[in-house]
Amino acid sequence: MANRIDRTFEELRARNQAAMIAYIAAGDPSLDATQAIVLALERAGVNLVELGLPFSDPLADGIVNQLAASRALDAGATTPKVLACVRDIRKSSQIPIVLYTYLNPIYQYGFHKFMTDAEAAGVDGMLILDLPPDEVASNPDFAATGNLRQIRLIAPTTPEVRIAKLTANASGFLYYVSREGVTGERTDVADTMAAGVAAIRATTSLPIAVGFGISTPEQVHQVAAVADAVVVGSAIVKRIAEWGAEPDLATRLEQFVAPLAAATKQR
């Protein structure tokens, strides 16, 4: 059954364009601001939004995204409130939304209840950072996720045999982490990026998104030439930290992101 993620990639492939994916922390600087930011990102040309579910111990995230999660928690963001925020976004937008999260908040909420409520709220996919594929195969809970697409992370150090295992139980798209380490802006694109994308593409027909460290239109254009989607996160989150108290936050972000989104369309 197709959902918004599938339809979006099908439409972009037909136009020979890559997708622009933007990451923000839900609730930073507030949940009302998150709703306005998502709509601004869509106006800027973003095709899919990753919403980080605030968590107190985000080990895969760099300092910029860790601080964003902390600000969101301090501002009162909770898992039920984030799902309510998605429901509010759905009143104005059908942009695909992926929840970027760790297992702990999901199990605190209740796994099956979370998946049911997330899909009902309008979430399209899940990217669970600390969920190994081995656990997916051995735990029936992880198969009962309704129509939510299950996004898998693949690292540059992942062996080829494991890549095939990861892609076999993925849906929606694959997220290739182009660098070792945690999230954060970088000054260049990893030299191994193209080879990494090619290795993944040999095992699956799913779209491949590349992220971690991408922050300029030039980098976006370089990645879009070989990948199906480009993820920009820390560069956007950093501006939210800088402009969070400004009344025109959403407008500033729209202006910042528009050149990045445009670069995905210039293949």
pLDDT band at 180 (very low <50, low <70, confident <90, very high): low
Are the CB atoms for 85 and 36 separated by under 8 Å? no
**pLDDT of 100 strictly over 50:** yes
Domain range list for the chain: 4-263
Summarize the confidence of residues 16-29 as an average pLDDT. 98
Average pLDDT over residues 110-118: 94
Q: Is there a contact between 169 and 177 (Cβ–Cβ < 8 Å)?
A: no
Q: Does residue 197 contact residue 208 with C-beta atoms inside 8 Å?
A: yes
> What mean pLDDT do residues 180-196 have?
64
The mean-pLDDT minimum among 25-39, 77-91, 153-167 falls in 153-167
Output phi, psi for 203, to 5 deg.
Answer: -110, -5
pLDDT digits 0-9 by tens, 165-177: 889 889 999 999 9
Catalytically active residues, by annotation: 50, 61
Q: What is the mean pLDDT of the chain?
A: 91
pTM across the whole model: 0.93
Q: What is the pLDDT of residue 178?
A: 80
Residue 132 pLDDT exceeds 90: no
Question: What spatial distance separates the first Cα and last Cα of the chain, rounded to whole Å?
Answer: 29
Across 90-99, average pLDDT: 98
Please determine, for residue 185, whether its predicted confidence score (pLDDT) is greater than 50.
no
**pLDDT for residue 191 is more than 50:** yes
Tokens of 61: 């995230």
pLDDT at 144: 61
Q: Tell me if 152 sits within 8 A of 118, measured CB to CB.
A: no
Please write the tens of the pLDDT for every residue from 134-172.
776 666 776 667 899 999 999 999 998 899 988 988 999
90 DSSP assignment: T
Among 152, 115, 149, smallest CA distance to 133 is for 152
The backbone torsions φ and ψ at residue 193, rounded to the nearest 5 degrees and listed phi first, read -60, -50
pLDDT at 184: 45
Task: Name the CATH code of domain 4-263 (choices 3.20.20.70, 1.10.645.10, 1.10.1060.10, 2.160.10.10).
Answer: 3.20.20.70
Band (182; pLDDT cuts 50, 70, 90): very low
Q: Tell me, what's the pLDDT at 102?
A: 94
Poorest-confidence range of 45-49, 60-64, 72-76, 236-240?
Answer: 60-64
Answer with the residue of higher pLDDT: 160 or 247: 247
Sign of the dihedral defined by the CA atoms of residues 68, 74, 80, 85, in that order: negative
